[in-house]
Amino acid sequence: MKKILPLLVVATLGLAACSGPSPDDLRRSDPEGSTACIHYGGSLTAPGDIGQTNRQKAAEHGSAASTDSIRNAVSTDASGQPVITDDEAFAAACEQQGFDFKR
């Protein structure tokens, strides 16, 4: 019994480590808005449709952020889609969290 106990402990700890949230889950539930800021930065540098897609993703994540300054820079359009309505406020909120955008 004494020989198998350490193996059981290691196996239990290994399984417990696997039960955490996946990276996709963390990306979807990003209360601080870091994902929104990353997408926003991508929208500033990416060309054409890629930039527009990043901007839309930034708005989606920003609308769910717990950070008031990010969330308040986003509203919804007539179709109910989130849109960034105040670029300066959105960028400033992200910069307060440590992001640095080259414009």
Digit-coded pLDDT (tens) for 72-102: 999 999 999 999 999 999 999 999 989 998 7
Domain contains 15 = no
Are the C-beta atoms of residues 82 and 60 closer than 8 Å to each other?
yes
pLDDT-wise least confident of 8-17, 21-30, 50-59, 90-99: 8-17
* Region 55-74 average pLDDT: 93
Domain contains 20 = no
pTM of the model: 0.70
Domain contains 68 = yes
What's the pLDDT at 33? 82
Helical ranges in the chain per DSSP H: 4-18, 23-28, 34-45, 48-63, 68-71, 87-96
Are the C-beta atoms of residues 66 and 36 closer than 8 Å to each other?
no
Domain contains 2 = no
Domain contains 86 = yes
Domain contains 3 = no
Q: Which residue has the higher pLDDT, 27 or 62?
A: 62
What 3-state DSSP class applies to 48? helix
Adjacent-strand bridge partners of 82 = 76
What's the pLDDT at 32? 76
- Segments forming the whole domain that contains residue 45: 27-96
Domain contains 37 = yes
Sign of the torsion formed by the C-alpha atoms of 50, 53, 58 and 59: positive
Task: Tell me how many domains the chain contains.
Answer: 1
Domain contains 76 = yes
Residue 25 pLDDT greater than 70, yes or no: no
Residue 54 pLDDT greater than 90, yes or no: yes
Residue 101 has what DSSP assignment? -
Q: Rounded to whole angstroms, how far apart are CA atoms 43 and 55?
A: 5
Structure tokens at 55: 């901007």
